[in-house]
């Protein structure tokens, strides 16, 4: 039998933005806050960048003078702050249904089974994801194994101690792509080829200079409409369709070109913008349905963990204003 719990605020997503919002609400005296996370750990993407000897410090603590730290260190910092609050954390909880007008969320939890939450306000802090090869519109060819997204790569290297490739090609030249190249090099791979449609890397000069401590990837601008992934079973290379040149590899990492994780917004029939997939919000971060708010990288674009954390706190202030008016 499905049970129902009521909270003042329910937050979907326990990354930096969701945790920031939860901490801020708790400090403002909101005692019944639920933080829903579909994985078995809180902290979001930073928690995947493990602290290891010789590892790559890919997160910058701008509020501490721009000190580079391991993602895991920053995630642990957030966890310690959250542990001092009364926020109720629900891990391994997959949202099944959303009724936005009722502010009701139905989820599946391995311990409690199917359960429903109702709330006075809801914050969606679902983050962003990398576009698939087909969504990018310029990648053709087969879909062999050894084609990974960044999160999968991190889980294999840091979570399982595996090196999935030795001669990688990385699609995407932003900060994530260069961090992936450094991660692979430290794990034992050769210097990667980073390719993008742009004439210059999207990653800034100073960011590239920083990552050259670990890796010296080669950048390849692809001035063609499409490239072809090669390999019947495993990835063997990428063919440039303009001149037929082949970049040999034994694995591909798909990075960058992030889009908001707006699937749950669509599930609740909340409005999103196309083609960006950003939720439609007002100046107070409120979405198309009253009492629903959005925070962090779900707002669109790629921003660092600290930006998301402080944005979550700003959204919490908007939620407090909403709750005070709805009494």
Give residue-wise pLDDT tens across range 176-214. Answer: 899 899 889 988 999 999 988 888 888 888 888 888 888
The vertex-9 CA angle with 6 and 10, nearest 5°, equals: 80
Distance CA 47, CA 214 (A): 20
Please say if the pLDDT value at position 240 is more than 90: no
**Band of pLDDT at residue 87, cut at 50, 70 and 90:** very high
Write down the pTM of the prediction: 0.89
Distance CA 54, CA 72 (A): 14
Distance CA 12, CA 311 (A): 15
Please say if the pLDDT value at position 293 is more than 90: yes
- Write phi, then psi, for 270 (nearest 5 degrees): -85, 145
Please say if the pLDDT value at position 114 is more than 70: yes
DSSP per position, 160-207: T-----SSEEEE--SHHHHHHHHHHHHHTPPPPEEEESSSS-SS-HHH
- The predicted model gives 7-35 an average pLDDT of 96
Please say if the pLDDT value at position 1 is more than 60: no
Q: In this prediction, what percent of the chain has a pLDDT beyond 90?
A: 52
Rg of the chain (C-alpha set): 21
Please say if the pLDDT value at position 55 is more than 70: no
Distance CA 255, CA 211 (A): 16
Please say if the pLDDT value at position 71 is more than 80: yes
- The predicted model gives 95-109 an average pLDDT of 96
Question: Which domains occur in the chain, in start order?
Answer: 3-129+258-326 (3.50.50.60), 132-254 (3.50.50.60)
Please say if the pLDDT value at position 30 is more than 70: yes
Can you give the pLDDT at residue 242? 60
Distance CA 187, CA 168 (A): 12
Mean pLDDT value across the chain: 88
Please say if the pLDDT value at position 288 is more than 90: yes
**Band of pLDDT at residue 238, cut at 50, 70 and 90:** confident
Can you give the pLDDT at residue 63? 67
Please say if the pLDDT value at position 136 is more than 70: yes
Distance CA 39, CA 85 (A): 21
More confident residue, 234 or 271: 271
Can you give the pLDDT at residue 51? 79
**Band of pLDDT at residue 8, cut at 50, 70 and 90:** very high
Can you give the pLDDT at residue 210? 83
Highest mean pLDDT among 122-126, 199-203, 213-217, 224-228: 122-126
Q: Reading across the β-sheet that carries 168-171, which strands appear in turn?
A: 147-149, 251-254, 168-171, 193-196, 218-221
């Amino acid at each position: 039998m499905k049970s129902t719990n009521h909270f003042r605020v329910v937050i979907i997503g326990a990354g930096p933005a969701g945790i920031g919002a939860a901490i801020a609400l708790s400090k403002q005296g909101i005692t019944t806050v639920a933080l829903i996370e579909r994985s078995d750990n809180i902290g979001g993407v930073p928690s995947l960048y493990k602290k290891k000897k010789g590892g790559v410090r890919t997160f910058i603590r701008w509020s501490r003078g721009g000190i580079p730290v391991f993602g895991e260190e920053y995630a642990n910092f957030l966890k310690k702050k959250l542990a001092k609050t009364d926020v109720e954390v629900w891990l391994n909880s997959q949202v099944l249904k959303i009724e936005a007008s009722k502010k009701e969320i139905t989820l599946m939890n391995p311990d409690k089974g199917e359960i429903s939450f109702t709330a006075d306000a809801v914050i969606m802090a679902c983050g962003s994801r990398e576009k698939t090869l087909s969504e990018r519109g310029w990648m053709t060819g087969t879909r062999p194994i050894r084609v990974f997204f960044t999160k999968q790569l991190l889980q294999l290297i840091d979570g399982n101690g595996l090196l999935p490739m030795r001669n990688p090609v990385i699609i995407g030249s932003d900060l994530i792509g260069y961090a992936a190249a450094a991660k692979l090099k430290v794990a034992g791979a050769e210097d990667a080829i980073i390719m993008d449609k742009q004439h210059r890397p999207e990653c800034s000069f100073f960011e590239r200079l920083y990552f050259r401590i670990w890796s010296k990837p080669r950048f390849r601008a692809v001035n063609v409409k499409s490239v072809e992934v090669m390999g019947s079973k495993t990835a063997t290379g990428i063919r440039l369709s303009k001149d037929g040149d082949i970049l040999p590899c034994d694995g591909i990492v798909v990075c960058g070109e992030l889009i908001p994780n707006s699937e749950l917004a669509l599930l609740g029939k909340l409005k999103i913008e196309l083609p960006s997939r950003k939720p439609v919000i007002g100046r107070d971060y409120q979405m198309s349905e009253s009492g629903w708010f959005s925070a962090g990288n779900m707002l669109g674009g790629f921003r660092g963990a600290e930006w998301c954390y402080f944005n979550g706190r700003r959204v919490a202030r908007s939620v407090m204003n909403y709750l005070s008016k709805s009494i």
